[in-house]
Amino acid sequence: MSFFDALQPEELEAISPYLEAVRFEPGACILHQGTPGDECYLIDQGRVRLELHSTELDSDAVLDYLDAGQVVGEFSLFDRGPRSASAYADTAVAARRLSREGLRRLSEDQPRLGNVLLTYIAQDFTHKLRQMDERLQDFLYHGLAPAWVDGMVERAAAAQAGFAGWPGPRVDALLTDLAERIAGQAEELARAAVAETGLGVVEHKVQKITLACQLTLQALLGRSGGGVTRVDEARRVTELACPMGVVFGLVPLTNPVSTIAFKTMICLKSRNALILGHHPQAMQVGGRVGELIHEVLASHGACEDLLLWVKERASRVTSGAFMTHPGVALILATGGPSMVRAAYSSGTPAIGVGAGNAPVWVCPDADVGRVAATVVASKSFDNGVICGSDNNLVVDAKVRRELVAALEECGAVVLSGYEVDRFTERVIDPVTACLRRELVGRPAAAILQQAGMPRGDQVRLVVLPIEHDKVGGPWGREKLAPIVSLLTVSGVEEGLGLCRHILEIMGAGHTAIIHTHDPDLALRFATEMPASRVLQNCAGATGCIGIGNGLRHSWTLGCGSWGGTSTTDNVGFENLQNIKRLAEAFADAPA
């Protein structure tokens, strides 16, 4: 119940002049982390989502939700400190704004009502503290999960037990139908994803969804998903694949539909059940894909509980409850580094995916025209939100001028030195020291417009020439937008050293790219780079996931120990199996 519902009509009339009635549309920012504040909001209707600002777009940053009757922003009202978190309208919100000046005047003019209001705010603050204490006790001391989490895990486990014995042809028929159904609605789902997340290009997401379905299906059909997978007659060892059980999968904001399709298909191929934790800003489209998969499961006589997802109030707390649940066998953690660390520290086996920040070394013998066309197409694809896409061009001085000209011919804008400074001032968030959140996944033309540097609607990529000492700043890190840095080197040693340094700053274990026709140089580059995928003359956006080369097609890319993850694989269904080995005694084995 709202504070104002308990007031008498005359009290409501008396207090109203001291507060301002405000409304926020879903998604609107009410409070911004790090900014000063001298007001709070008493929520009349709707739900408010509290988030921490983070440089990790794909990590779940939700702290909590506040409902009608609660207060948001009271910390700064009282201590005059900066906002400790951001608040967004999760639904349409109606609230009353109370400023510090309004509270002062109310307390002077209407002391009794001022005291009642302060007591109400204090009670709400105390309620939040008690909730925090309860959560800490549950997770730190008891490891207890909410009852609804227990229920979801139990349902998934029961469904998996009934599915484990399905024969291969029946599973493949299910996967074929599933891939065709999702691909058949690729355009509708792509539009829904872009509308909800605000990221990417509809046409490009259509391609990603279609390829995720088609190429994943091709990689799975006819493969043994369980039972005997290999017999070594000489060693008398028989290998048998067994499902792990219930998998908990995190779904990133950047690629929600394609990731859901991929993870569902590899889980079903390996006879596992899957529970999904969608990013809070992709829950609606995630739910639409889930319902579509349920229809396919039902049509094949499979239990719908083979795929479940968190439908309301996704947050780090709920993700943590699934990660630490004893009934969850494995975590597929696609997200930012903090989410991956949380998965690995949960005590549950996990496969994590780290951040990308691919250096792209353009050697003197490279086909510069082809490199330029490849980089522009790759980094502008879906507005640059693929983590393995080209992020930092490291070009040999011998071909720099030629490369710059070729980039411009392919639709890139290469900024001058003073333009880079101006651009940086206008698009970098001073709180996070990264690209402003509202510009992530936006077209290059829109970003330039925001920077006050319009170059027309045909611009596909922004290229920022920077010096080596700027690599530690925002432009030497992952940029989930059609933006690349451009650095110049002289010779092999400097090129290798700078590429390695870029990965050490960010992106270790993910992807590195070299453009050369010298096989010995390519091999040395692969040997020295701390990267799981080293691409030669490939586009980063497609090459990292196994399009245009011989890598396994995957939308979950391990980064090995360099990136703090457990595998360097392009993850597939084989990573979701326990392998047993039946070993027969040799004839001359000792008794």
Catalytic residues: 387
Q: Which of 308, 210, 198, 314 is nearest to 257 (CA)?
A: 210
**CA-to-CA distance for 272 and 576, rounded, in angstroms?**
8
Question: How far, in Å, CA of 19 to CA of 563, rounded?
Answer: 50
Separation CA 367–CA 521 (nearest Å): 15
Angle between helices 100-109 and 111-136 (to 10 degrees): 130
SS3 483: strand
User: How far is CA 358 from each of CA 38, 204, 506, rounded to the nearest angstrom?
Assistant: 43, 21, 9
C-beta of residue 525 within 8 angstroms of C-beta of residue 361:
yes
Could you please report the per-residue DSSP string of 534-573? EEES--HHHHTTTSSSSSPP-S-B--TGGGT-S--SB--G
Taking alpha carbons only, the member of 21, 15, 41 closest to residue 112 is 15
List of residues 6+ apart from 478 with CB closer than 8 A = 355, 356, 357, 387, 391, 506, 507
Which residues does residue 67 pair with via DSSP β-bridges, in sequence order? Answer: 47
**Amino acid in the structure at residue 451:** A
DSSP state letters, 194-205 = HHHH--S-HHHH
